[in-house]
Amino acid sequence: MKKIYGAFVMILMFGLVWSQGSAFAQSDEAKVETTNFIKATGVITKVEEKKGTVTLTVETNGKEPQITFYNLTDETMVYNSGSTKEMEKLAFQKGQQIDAYYDKDKPMIMIYPAQISPELVIVHDAKTFGSVKVGKFDEELRSLDNELNLNVDDKTILENTDGEKIARADLSGKELIVFYTMATKSIPAQTAPIKIVAMSSPGEVSDTSDFIKFSGVITEITNDKNKLALTVVTEEDEPITTIFTLDKNVRLFKGKNAETVKKESFQIGQKIEAYYDKNKPMILIYPAQITPELLFVPGKEEFSFVKVAKFDQDMISLDRKLQLTISEETELRNEKNEVITQEDLVEKELIVFYAVTKRGMEGVPDQTTPLKVVALNYLSPDLKHIIENDHFIQNGTKMIPLRKVAEQLGYEVKSYSTSTQKLVTLLKGNSSFQIFRDTKAFSYNKSLQLFLEKPVLKDKKTYVSEEILDILK
């Protein structure tokens, strides 16, 4: 009961935070997005450092304080409100007042206390007064929520998040971190800021991976109606429990050589790493119940590691933590277990299996010669945009527009709306699909297969379950 109550408390807490710090400005004509972030304020009650990650336990002020755990990584920006300078993450102290800003679209496991990885943390200086405003500004440097107008002069420091000097013209259309001291009481308030940091817009930020990692120990195994479920608990002072349901599409690997794992081989006490789509819709319950895309079992008597991330043309992960040197011994495969070449790895999400790394200097990624690399399907920005802006959830399955997606992937689409079979045909090279609305069965090159959900007609468009992406690509 305590955990269930905690989950409900957290859901209520998120509703309260949202209502107090809305990311939108309402009007009769339109709804304007004033910031990409949600702001949360509180006092640090505990600071922990573990494996390069600093975790802050923060309590809100008030009669019924809410607790939140903030996990700070190398990507988290941290500034002092008084000095306006960046801070080291190990400089946090108990009792400090902070403002945490996190992406309003960030997917989160619904548990209490909430665990959040913020993009930005502002530490309020106890000795030097300073105010901070985070938000979007128009060309006249007026915040879109109409609360603050900036009067930039020669004394104002203008930087990007890398500390590089920028011009006033570079501020337009960006999310800004504005440091200032005095402001008028007008509407909007007027201020001459001390410093402005321009953050990259969401489209300019490298999305380093499509997956979230969860590590822990199996504490329970159930097999109900041929559906295997693993209850996994993290190895922390305040452990988190998650139930992972393994379907037919999950990829199961073990050890440095990426051996295939059979579902019946899992044991209580086994350590695992689960990776699941960060955009996957989830039911708001605790423990969270998730169907992962990948599950990895580290070897017991050997060094075995796995990294799931996107890599650039130089085989450097987009989070700048690992660089791959592909050798003749490195096994390269795609999702269908077909042999591929190094050129096929570029701009893909990769599952990298390796044993030894060469530690890089500060600012330089670690280096490894992987034993095996599996390239996952990569969605182009255009295809991602289509899906993000045109989908709905049906019985827990994401449904996407068939024609838009198929044409984006180069298929010819023929729809027979007058047919009693409600048939849609996709053609590309030697591939041929016949998809029927209101039935799970579909034909691929005359081979009968099944969707998770029936294709449906909505707003005069045919929608199919998202799994079709794996088939079409």
So what's the pLDDT on residue 13?
A: 42
Q: Where are the domains of the chain?
A: 2-123, 131-199, 211-297, 305-375, 381-472
The CA-atom distances, in angstroms, between 48 and each of 71, 89, 102, 120 are: 9, 10, 20, 18
d(CA 369, CA 382): 33
Structural contact between residues 400 and 383, judged by C-beta atoms closer than 8 angstroms: no
So what's the pLDDT on residue 21?
A: 44
Rg of the chain, C-alpha, whole Å: 25
So what's the pLDDT on residue 237?
A: 74
Residue 140 phi/psi, 5° resolution? -90, 10
> Position 317: which residue type?
S
Q: Which of 416, 412, 386 is nearest to 401 (CA)?
A: 386
**Domain 381-472 superfamily per CATH:** Copper amine oxidase-like, N-terminal domain (3.30.457.10)
Three-state SS for 103? strand
First to last CA, the chain: 45
The string of DSSP codes covering 340-391 is --GGGGTTSEEEEEES--BPP-TTS-EEE--SEEEEEP---HHHHHHHHHS-
Helix H or strand E segment including 3: helix 2-20
State both tokens at 203: 């489209």
Strand 305-310 to strand 349-354: parallel, antiparallel, or no bridges (unpaired)? antiparallel
Mean pLDDT by 10 residues, the chain (473 residues): 42 39 45 79 89 84 86 86 87 92 72 82 90 89 90 92 85 88 91 90 59 91 85 86 87 81 90 83 74 86 80 85 91 85 83 83 79 80 82 86 91 73 83 88 83 89 88 74
pLDDT digits (tens, 9 = 90+) for 254-302: 877 778 888 888 999 999 999 988 766 666 677 888 889 899 988 776 6
So what's the pLDDT on residue 319?
A: 79
State both tokens at 33: 């997005």
State both tokens at 156: 């104002």
So what's the pLDDT on residue 373?
A: 93
Asked whether this chain's domains 2-123 and 381-472 adopt the same fold, the reply is no
DSSP bridge pairs for 230: 221, 244
So what's the pLDDT on residue 220?
A: 95
DSSP bridge pairs for 233: 217, 241
Structural contact between residues 139 and 131, judged by C-beta atoms closer than 8 angstroms: no
So what's the pLDDT on residue 78?
A: 93
Q: What is the pTM of this model?
A: 0.52
Pick the CATH number of 2-123 from 3.10.20, 3.30.460, 2.40.50, 1.10.287: 2.40.50
Structural contact between residues 173 and 213, judged by C-beta atoms closer than 8 angstroms: no
Three-state SS for 195? strand
So what's the pLDDT on residue 4?
A: 43
Q: Which of 240, 366, 213, 208 is nearest to 296 (CA)?
A: 213
Structural contact between residues 218 and 230, judged by C-beta atoms closer than 8 angstroms: yes
d(CA 331, CA 339): 8
How many CB atoms are closer than 10 A to CB 437?
A: 19
Mean pLDDT of the chain: 82
The contacts found for 22-27 with CB under 8 angstroms, 24 or more apart, are: 23/104, 25/144, 25/145, 25/146
Structural contact between residues 178 and 171, judged by C-beta atoms closer than 8 angstroms: no
So what's the pLDDT on residue 236?
A: 77
State both tokens at 74: 């190398």
44-9-56 Cα angle (round to 5): 20
Residue 208 phi/psi, 5° resolution? -75, -20
Level-2 CATH architecture, domain 211-297? Beta Barrel (2.40)
